[in-house]
Structure 1
Amino acid sequence: MTKNYACIFSILCFTVFFSCSEPAAEEKPYNILFIAIDDLRPELGVYGNDIIQTPNLDAIGNGGSVFLNHYVQVPTCGASRCSILTGMLPQTTNHLQNSAIEQFLSNEPEKERPESFVHHLKRNGYYTVGIGKISHSVDGLWYGYEESPEGAKMEMPHSWDEMLFDAGKWGTGWNAFFGYADGSNRQGKNKQVKPYEVGDVDDLGYPDGLSTQLAVKKLKELSTKGQPFFMGLGLFKPHLPFTAPKKYWDLYDRADIPLSPFPDLPENVHPSSLQGSGEFNQYQLGEEKAGLDRKLSDEYARKLRHAYYAAVSYSDALVGKVLEALEEEGLADNTIIVVWGDHGWHLGDHRVWGKHTTFEMAVRSPLMIKVPGMAARKIGNELPVSSIDLYPTLMELTGIPTDFPLDGQSLVPLMKSGRDAQRAAMAFSYFRNGISMRTDRYRLTRYFREAEPTLELFDHQNDPMETVNIAGEFPEIVAALLPQLEKGNTGLYANRDN
């Protein structure tokens, strides 16, 4: 027995010695896949829409963190993207323009402070690839809708190792962005086009299909690179025109698609708080024109909503191709996936067809973050979050320090536990000479203008569609919220009483 114990003891010592002497496997840094989808409302299955067909986006949400009340800082493409990329609230009225990135990033030399979170990742060892519309320009170059991209400057000159785009039969990025299946585009046809199209094409028949093809090819290359990567994929649809291959239209019976639950003007609101659907009306062959003085017919409104749903389902299918490539290349278990809509879109709500308001329909959009090994969670309506929160979130997840101030706050505590005692329940948005603040229950908006009323208060507990401004009825609530709203006044409207 003594010999047996001695033998066992020797074997254990031998095993412990050699197991301890072997170096631990080095933990690989996360890769990041950032999918930006233009004009995407939270109209997804995982957000509670049981009609729209979005199985791939739903799979990301069901496996990750879904932020039910996520708000963009500005309800227009370029300015919204400027805020999320820099992690900063808008500081001037120029930060509210589509040209914000061009004005504040494109002409700047490389500085100690990074120009974007992509730039910060690149400085810290990430290989960065952009495909499609990540900043405002659809191919990362700064040029006008009807200009040639020849010799154009990069919008984010220090952020990308590679910026890729395949303009295909459309020739240029902006032609592709406003393109139709036959290779034509809105500007080339002098706006004599419809705001929708049923395309008799496959998935490669529109520009987003070509961008996805580039992404799949690039993932194969990145899988062998031996370096953590950030890939940004910017999909156009469902931005106008609402175009998609016919098979995505065929997913729906139009009669099943609901109309807006509130297609009327809100009460006690000045028309200047809304907008006249000017972008939508540029598609001059549409059957009807939109305006605050009239509603579209139910038939046409339902057709347009059908078109929007088809465009969303097309983007969803393309996301599925990228997810499949992640799996095939062995990258899925080490890649953070972020899905972000750059703002919402009124689909006839409040008689508006478009973005460009500070109402819930324009500033609320999807945000989903899937981290390998992290439990899935839905972050509820009582905790509004902002696009500017993504920058510090990615830095915390990747262990990269930031020694410079950011306006956002990391979402990691919410993602891990669903709670964050350090987070105030408020998110700020800016547009139309106004600041809007969303709390767990209310939206308070203050406009700096002459048109009255300049204060709007909506109670989301009783009025989720923001149909009645109750600021005049509940001045005590306004008085309690105004000091909080002032925390969002970054100097944008300093010294302006009206």
Structure 2
Amino acid sequence: MNYKFIKLILPIFINLAISPIALAQKSKPNVLLIAVDDLRAELGHFENSAVQTPNLDKLASRGVSFTNHFVQVPTCGASRAAFLTGKKPRRTSELNNNIMANEFREKPEGKIPETFIHHLKRNGYYTVGIGKISHSADGYVYGYEEEVSDQVELPYSWDEMLFDAGKWQTGWNAFFAYADGENRQSLNRQVKPYEAGKVDDLGYPDGLSTQLAIQKLRELKDLNQPFFLGLGLFKPHLPFTAPKKYWDLYEEDRIPLAKNPGKPLNVSDQSLLESGEFNQYALGEEKAGVDHQLSDAYARKIKHAYYAATSYSDAQIGLVLDELEKLGLDQNTIVIVWGDHGWHLGEQRIWGKHTLFENALNSALIFKVPGRKYAKIEDAIVESVDIYPTLMELLAIESPEGLDGESFVNILHGEQKQIEEVAYSYYNRGISIRTPQYRLTKYFRKTEPVIELYNHQTDPLESVNIAAENPEIVARLLPLLEKGNTGLYDKN
């Protein structure tokens, strides 16, 4: 028997056995999404940044990193819902962290996919989630102090939903973890908002999630269809915990303080935040509030903690990207790193998110598209709802009807920007728009002033509301703001 002939002809028969549809699907790029909790748009490769993110910097050197990416809602669950659905909030319930847990799991599967991940799954992708992609820390619906349920938060999006809770036992315990196996709930909030753990990377949950992702990439390499892998990292969300070696990257007394630590002029305290999430860590040395600033020493301590937690997540991202390259998957995988919102680090006397100011709405976004050799720090204004249609265009998959976002593939390809650059955000009974020059915010409340205007060319720190002395600019921008009024608030 001619074995050489058999060896030559066998691959032909194997290929003939694979349908044209399967071949077309296999040729589509894979997608790796890394969602990072509370990752503001302060990365090592940005100008005047003090944080160390060498792995994100390396990724940005091969792709596009956006300085002006804005989220729809400055809170975790609602921001992720808008991102995943490509839709702006239309009801006040859609500003709630639990919108997906409360409603998505109750709906029967319909014509409109529940998320872009569901849409990918319908179009031939094998979908795997690890950690916090929707709001739940591990993808399942249950309360902070309850046992893990078997109810998936996104019931139609995942082929696999994975998580290693380690010694913390549940996803929510892991989300608020300290290195000794305790968590914020188990210690009844009698904890500090930070920790420099004397542990290695596996001593906190994000290290375990990273190892799961690496193992899953090795399995997915041989899959006969394209895959979507979502990895949700917890840090730098509170508590700001990280192995001590990441704290040691910084000299605390050299960490810069916020450039705008005072209250903005000409605004109501209702536009600000009492930093309740930060203050609930009862053993914190100082409490934050809009009536005072933290001491310089403690402000540096907290920024140090946030930076250390960010560098820890950056290291985990580096491990995943290294494995992607080692497996040869980087040649056919779109990589997206997305922060679900920003975080005030003392700006405007705030330590937290939940505002309609720049620091809460501006978050990290990096895209790397295989076959595109460019490195660009991009200042075009994009918003989270734009990511859905952008990804579908890159994958040559038709987007479903009703998306609010606009594809920015042209920006990724170095072409012209959108005709109308504007990002919409919603919270605290307000709507805010960001244009290349201005931020205009309108609050639907009785307490004046209800209109705030900031000129980002002259006041990028949003320290003075200039609406009263610039009625013509307000009048010009208000119709643009009203275009984004989805019925969430009364239009009077």
Task: Identify the TM-score tier after normalising by the shorter chain.
Answer: over 0.9
CA contact (8 A) 2:64 2:378 kept: no
Equivalent in 379, 387, 390 of residue 387 of structure 2: 390
Once the 2 structures are TM-superposed, how far is the Cα of residue 405 of structure 1 from its aligned partner? Answer: 1.9
SS in 2 for 1:46: coil
Structure 1 SS opposite 2:411: helix
**Deviation string for 1:7-63 (max 9, x for gaps)?**
xxxxxxxxxxxxxxxx99978210000000000011111222443211111111111
Q: Is the counterpart of residue 144 in structure 1 residue 143 in structure 2? A: yes
Shift of 1:65: 1.2
Match of 2:179 among 171, 175, 181: 181
Q: How many residues align?
A: 472
Distance 1:235 1:154 in 2: 18
- Residues 388-428 of structure 1, C-alpha deviations (whole Å, 9 max, x = no match): 000001100111112412100111011112413x5311100
Match of 2:255 among 247, 254, 257: 257
Find the residue that maps to 1:36 and give its secondary structure: strand
Structure 1 counterpart of 2:414, which letter?
S
What runs of 5+ residues in structure 2 fail to find an aligned partner? 1-15
**How far, CA to CA, are the matches of 1:86 and 1:342 in structure 2?**
14
> Retained in 2: the 8 A contact 1:43–1:49?
no
Tell whether the 8 Å contact from 2:86 to 2:405 is kept in structure 1 after alignment: yes
2:260–2:463 CA contact under 8 A, matched in 1 = yes
Residues 391, 408 of structure 1: 8 Å contact kept:
yes
> Structure 1 residue 370: deviation in Å?
0.2
Match of 2:121 in 1: 122
Task: State the TM-score, normalized to the length of structure 2.
Answer: 0.94
Q: Verify the 8 A CA contact 1:379 1:418 in the aligned structure 2.
A: no
Are the counterparts in 2 of residues 85 and 117 from structure 1 also a CA contact under 8 Å? yes
Letter matched to residue 103 of structure 2: F
2: CA distance, partners of 1:140 / 1:117: 16
**1:324 Cα deviation after fit:** 1.1
Deviation at 1:240? 0.2
Change beyond 3 A, Cα 1:314–1:49:
farther
Secondary structure of 2:426's counterpart equals strand
Alignment of 1:143-222 (within 5 A): 143-151=142-150, 153-222=151-220
Partners of 1:377 and 1:329 lie apart in 2 by 23
- Residues 377 and 418, structure 1, Cα contact 8 Å, conserved in 2: no
TM-score normalized with structure 1 length: 0.93
- d(CA) in 2 for partners of 1:150 and 1:28? 37
Tell me what 1:490 maps to.
486
Q: Which of residues 353, 356, 359 is equivalent to 1:355?
A: 353
Q: Is the 8 A contact 1:68 1:378 kept in 2?
A: no
Find out whether 1:344 has 2:377 as its counterpart. no
Local SS of the residue matching 1:234? strand
C-alpha displacement of 1:104: 3.3
Matches within 5 A, 1:49-448: 49-151=48-150, 153-378=151-376, 380-381=378-379, 383-420=380-417, 422-448=418-444
Secondary structure (helix, strand or coil) at the match of 2:27 reads: coil
Matched to 1:437, the amino acid is I
User: CA 1:358–1:238 in structure 2 vs 1: closer, same or farther (change >3 Å)?
Assistant: same
Shift in CA distance, 87/236, structure 1 to aligned 2, threshold 3 Å: same
The residue identity in structure 2 corresponding to 1:90 is P
Report if the CA contact (8 A) 1:67-1:366 is conserved: yes
For the 8 Å contact 1:379–1:414, the answer to whether it is kept is no
Aligned pair in 2 of structure 1 residues 150, 415: CA closer, same or farther (>3 Å)?
closer
* Secondary structure in 2 matching 1:443: strand
- Contact 1:375-1:416 at 8 Å conserved across structures: no
Displacement of 1:283 in angstroms is 0.3
Structure 1 unmatched runs, 5+: 1-22
> Are 1:471 and 2:470 an aligned pair?
no
Q: Distance in 2 between matches of 1:462 and 1:140?
A: 43
Structure of larger gyration radius: 1
Q: CA deviation at 1:67?
A: 1.4
Conservation of the 8 A alpha-carbon contact between 1:199 and 1:246: yes
CA distance in 2, matches of 1:84, 1:379: 22
AA at the equivalent of 2:138: D
Distance (whole Å) between structure 2 residues aligned to residue 147 and residue 354 of structure 1? 26
Structure 2 SS opposite 1:483: helix
2-structure distance, mates of 1:194, 1:401: 48
Q: Which residue of structure 1 lines up, in the alignment, with residue 5 of structure 2?
A: none
Match of 1:12 in 2: none
| Counterpart secondary structure, 1:325 | helix
Asked whether the 8 Å contact 1:458–1:466 carries over to 2, the reply is yes
Amino acid at match of 1:124: N
Structure-2 separation of matches of 1:459 and 1:98 = 31
Query: CA RMSD for the aligned pairs?
Result: 1.6
- Structure 2 CA distance, aligned partners of 1:433 and 1:63? 40
